[in-house]
Amino acid sequence: MGGGPAGLSAALVLGRCRRTVLLFDHGKPRNAVSRALHGFLGSDGIDPARLREVALAQLAPYPLVVVRKARVVGARRTESGFAVETGDGQRFRSRKLLLAAGVVDDLPDIPGFRQLYGAGVFHCPYCDGWEIQDQPLAVYGRHDDKGGGLSLEMMQWSRDVVLCSDGPAELSADCRARLDRHGITVREEKILRLDVTSDVPHRAAFAVVFESGPALPRGALFFNTGRHQSTDLAKSLGCDTYDPKGCAVDRRTQMTHVPGLYVAGDASRDVLQVVVAAAEGAEAAMAINTALLHEDLT
């Protein structure tokens, strides 16, 4: 389940293995606000929706691959594999189950953030850093890693970086000293809103407005407030290595410790890139086909 790069890639590989594949997709991808996809060799800069169109067209020649627009709301293990139920009450059975439903970013609940999400507010510098290079940047986060670490990382794309922690930054003395050494200002006042002047993608203009002190004009903001699984199906199926940020899997096969249950894409690791998700989907598909071959020929 999951119609993103991981699920589509797995469906393609399994279709070529002459396996019967049912792909569920509810049509709400993590990158829905993205204007372009980057870092995918051969498709750098492509519209994510266009990539999906191409992928679905390339699945069409494989008659055993069926794509259904539905959300899986329940799953359980059976003697022969798994049983899943969709939101419209339909039930299906399978021998193996691949979860590729991805994650959901925890967007700060501050006026202006959602309006700018994908235009001037971003979560991944590898996806959008090039487009906003040399602009005045804000980083939203706390602690050494999510606040200080991301601020230092953003200096690769701009020398004008301000850390906005929306309250106490909770930085170690060492981290604060590193920020000072590199000229990164820390604003710890509570944030009231983002005053948006322009929401043109990658050419946005806004001001961070605080409870006290002067407003901060910026061109882009990167946040690091965490993410959560888009579904808790892995947990409900008994995956005791489940984590809100991802599920522990065998890196060679993408299988969890639950027999027959595989997880690929953003839901399985911390390198949240389309090219990685697609590769993991292919890895999972080959592992699934190998497992099915072993069952069929034993």
Burial profile 251-286: b = 16 or more Cβ within 10 angstroms, e = fewer = eeebbbebebbbbbbbbbbeebbbbbbbbbbbbbbb
* Helical ranges in 129-202 per DSSP H: 150-154, 173-181
Considering only CA atoms, which of 172, 177, 152, 178 is closest in space to residue 163? 152
pLDDT score, position 49: 87
| Amino acid occupying residue 199 | D
Say what the pLDDT of residue 240 is. Answer: 61
As a whole number of angstroms, the distance between CA 191 and CA 213 comes to 10
What pLDDT sits at residue 39? Answer: 85
Name the nearest CA neighbour of 121 among 201, 23, 193, 57: 201
Residue carrying the six token digits 């797995």: 10
- Angle between helices 5-16 and 48-59 in degrees, nearest 10: 20
Q: What is the pLDDT of residue 130?
A: 95
- Computed on alpha carbons and rounded to an integer, the radius of gyration of the chain in Å comes to 21
How far apart CA 191 and CA 208 sit, in angstroms, is 7
Q: Is 105 within 8 Å of 123 (Cβ atoms)?
A: yes
- Which pLDDT tens digits describe the chain residue by residue (298 residues)? 788 889 999 999 999 999 999 999 887 766 667 778 888 888 888 888 898 999 999 999 999 999 999 888 899 999 999 999 998 899 999 999 998 887 777 889 999 999 999 999 999 899 999 999 999 999 999 999 999 999 999 999 999 999 999 999 999 999 999 999 999 999 999 999 999 999 999 999 999 999 999 999 999 999 988 777 777 787 788 876 656 555 677 777 888 888 899 988 866 665 578 888 899 999 999 999 999 999 999 8
Rounded CA separation 9/40 (Å):
13
Residue (of 135, 114, 113, 110) closest to 125 by Cα position: 135
